[in-house]
Structure 1
Amino acid sequence: MTDRPLPNLDHWIADLAPALGLGDVDVPLRPLLDLTRDVAHGVARPAGPITTYLVGLAVAQGMSVDDAHSVVTRLVEERLE
């Protein structure tokens, strides 16, 4: 993924997070977008958003984003072998 700005996503997060009762949150945009892309291409397109949702649940239960990213990356790589 390129490093170009994502202004629409920043605005969307700023509107959505409080509406969901989350307040001001720091969303790791690039890692999540890259992860979603890799899963969509390596597993199946519908698996991308489902994976992002499951990663969110794991993070909410205490797993770090980096650890969740590592788990997903490992599983995708295993499927591609």
Structure 2
Amino acid sequence: MNELDAWIAAAGAELGVSPDEVPAKELLDVARDVAHNVLRPGAPVTAYLMGLAVGRGLAPAEASAKISALALSWPSRESRSEGRES
């Protein structure tokens, strides 16, 4: 068991969540997409938003796909700043 798996098991136990319910790879992929394409602080906030959506019935894989697609299509920082200069 690696450190991440150990953390997921321990934190999950505190919250009553089985490690089998945690799609760690998908979450890490989404966090990377948001951090690199939108902004770094958006990654943990997005993980929370996804948790809320999944808790309300959205499938984890669907939530991951939707958010990654959104983050990957997000305008670059350069194009956003160019729009503000006009």
TM-score, with length taken from structure 2: 0.77
2:2 corresponds to: 7
Alignment deviations for residues 11-31 of structure 1 (CA, whole Å, 9 cap, x no partner): 111111121133x23111111
For the aligned residue pairs, the C-alpha RMSD in angstroms reads: 1.6
TM-score, with length taken from structure 1: 0.81
Alignment deviations for residues 31-77 of structure 1 (CA, whole Å, 9 cap, x no partner): 11011011000000000111111111111111011111121122113
Distance 1:46 1:52 in 2: 11
Aligned length: 75
Q: Which runs of 4+ in 1 moved over 6 A?
A: none
Where structure 1 has 5 or more consecutive residues not aligned to the other structure, the ranges are 1-5
Q: 2:56 aligns with which of 47, 56, 61?
A: 61
Distance 1:25 1:11 in 2: 9
Q: Which has the larger radius of gyration?
A: 2
Q: Partner amino acid for 1:25? A: P
Distance 2:25 2:65 in 1: 15
Q: Partner amino acid for 1:37? A: R
Q: Could you say which structure has the higher helix fraction?
A: 2
Where structure 2 has 5 or more consecutive residues not aligned to the other structure, the ranges are 77-86
